[in-house]
Amino acid sequence: MKQKQILLLHIFYWLLIVFNGIIGILVYDTRTFDILSITIFLSNFLGFYTNYFFVVPRFFDPKRFYMMIIGFFVGVFVFVFFRYSIEEIVLPALTGYRNYKEGTTFLYYFYDNIYYSSLTIFVSTNLWFFQYYFKVEAERTKLIEERKHAQLQALKTQINPHFIFNSLNNIYSLVYQNSDQSLPAIEKLSELLRYSTKDLEKDVISLDKEIGYIESLIGLEKLRIKNHEMLVFEKNMTNPKLGISPMLLVPFVENAFKHGDFRDKGFVLKVSDEHNVLHFYLQNFKNQRMKDTASGIGIENVKKRLEILYPKRHELNIKDLESEFIVDLRITFPHEND
């Protein structure tokens, strides 16, 4: 709750107090405020804010409930002390008028005013609790956001090394085969790295940029794959400027190229974004001759990022079958992303 809202609650309470006083005048037909109307209002005001700023913060302890009960009675005592001082000491000295009969003991006065003070102290205490609760909640939310940001930054640092490692493996195989495609592959890799390094610093990029990475990656991989027609890539982009976290889809494609069988088989990649729902579907056949115990690093990274960035707004289904690997991902974006 913002400070402005807390202030409005304070104003609302005092307007109720004033309104109650006006109703009292109309009901009892006194026509004017008497001096006791002023003294009780002043006692309420002083008791309210002394309790609010000093008593409650000092006695609040969730682990010791009895301290809060003591604090409540301290607040009552403060109210009674102010009212007694004003009505039974200051007022008689200035006007010769007092609220109670002369000789009334403080103990009797205290007991008689517990009722009158209870509402003021109760409201004062609860308003402090409101402010305290929302302050703690705001701090907790801030800590969660900072932790999420730190986690995302840590996960992002894992992306480039993983991406470079996979690409260098591909280029190594081209160099090893003395392929004429080695130099073009190095050039394409340098272009990809320039783009990825620049955009990884951002929290969000446009969907068409992410798809652009994928297209560049496919172009790099085509340099070492003979049967290009087996690489089926279908895209249906209705909102290319849809904001997405950078390098969120690329690791799935990297994984397909790293562990896929492209001798006589390929893969099918489909991307669409109808009605603010991104649908990413990838199916590739496994290379049974190549096993890599570290193959899940990139995918595990994406899973963690999805949980942080799109909680309850994404659905990721991965089928790791004997001969093929299927990724089916849906992310629902808010409409303000239009």
Q: How confident is the model at residue 147 (pLDDT cuts 50, 70, 90)?
A: low
Distance between CA atoms of 270 and 268, rounded to whole angstroms? 7
Helix 35-50 to helix 3-28 angle (10° resolution) is 160
CA neighbours closer than 13 Å in the CB half-sphere of residue 305: 24
Distance between CA atoms of 40 and 198, rounded to whole angstroms? 67
Position 50 pLDDT exceeds 50: yes
Position 293 pLDDT exceeds 50: no
Position 196 pLDDT exceeds 70: no
C-alpha distances (whole Å) from 8 to each of 12, 14, 113 are: 6, 10, 28
Enter the DSSP assignment of 274. Answer: G
Provide CB contacts within 8 A for 106, sequence distance 6+: 84
Considering only residues 281 and 133, tell me which one the structure prediction assigns the higher pLDDT. 281
Per-residue model confidence as pLDDT tens digits over 34-45:
777 788 888 888
C-alpha distances (whole Å) from 219 to each of 75, 212, 264, 265 are: 75, 10, 18, 17
Q: How confident is the model at residue 32 (pLDDT cuts 50, 70, 90)?
A: very low
Average of per-residue pLDDT across 90-109: 81
Distance between CA atoms of 163 and 247, rounded to whole angstroms? 10
CB count within 10 Å of CB 274 equals 11
Residue with tokens 């609010």: 52
Q: In what order do the strands lie in the sheet with 324-332?
A: 231-236, 267-272, 277-285, 324-332, 314-320
Q: Are 182 and 174 in contact (CB under 8 A)?
A: yes
0.75 exceeded by the pTM? no
* Neighbour-count burial for 275-291, b at 16+ CB within 10 Å, e otherwise: ebebebbbbbbbeeeee
For every residue of 74-123, DSSP letters joined together read HHHHHHHHHHHHIIIIIHHHHHS--SSPTT--HHHHHHHHHHHHHHHHHH
Average of per-residue pLDDT across 154-183: 66
Q: What is the residue extent of each domain of the chain? A: 3-141, 179-337
1 burial type by CB count under 10 A (0-12 exposed, 13-18 middle, 19+ buried): middle
Runs of H (alpha helix) within the chain: 3-28, 35-50, 56-59, 65-85, 91-95, 106-176, 182-199, 207-222, 250-259, 297-309
C-alpha distances (whole Å) from 161 to each of 51, 263, 303 are: 58, 27, 18
Position 13 pLDDT exceeds 90: no
Distance between CA atoms of 243 and 205, rounded to whole angstroms? 5
Residue with tokens 């909102």: 239
- Among residues 95, 82, 35, 92, the alpha carbon closest in space to that of 54 is found at 82
Q: Which CATH superfamily is domain 179-337 in?
A: Histidine kinase-like ATPase, C-terminal domain (3.30.565.10)
Mean pLDDT of the chain, nearest integer: 79
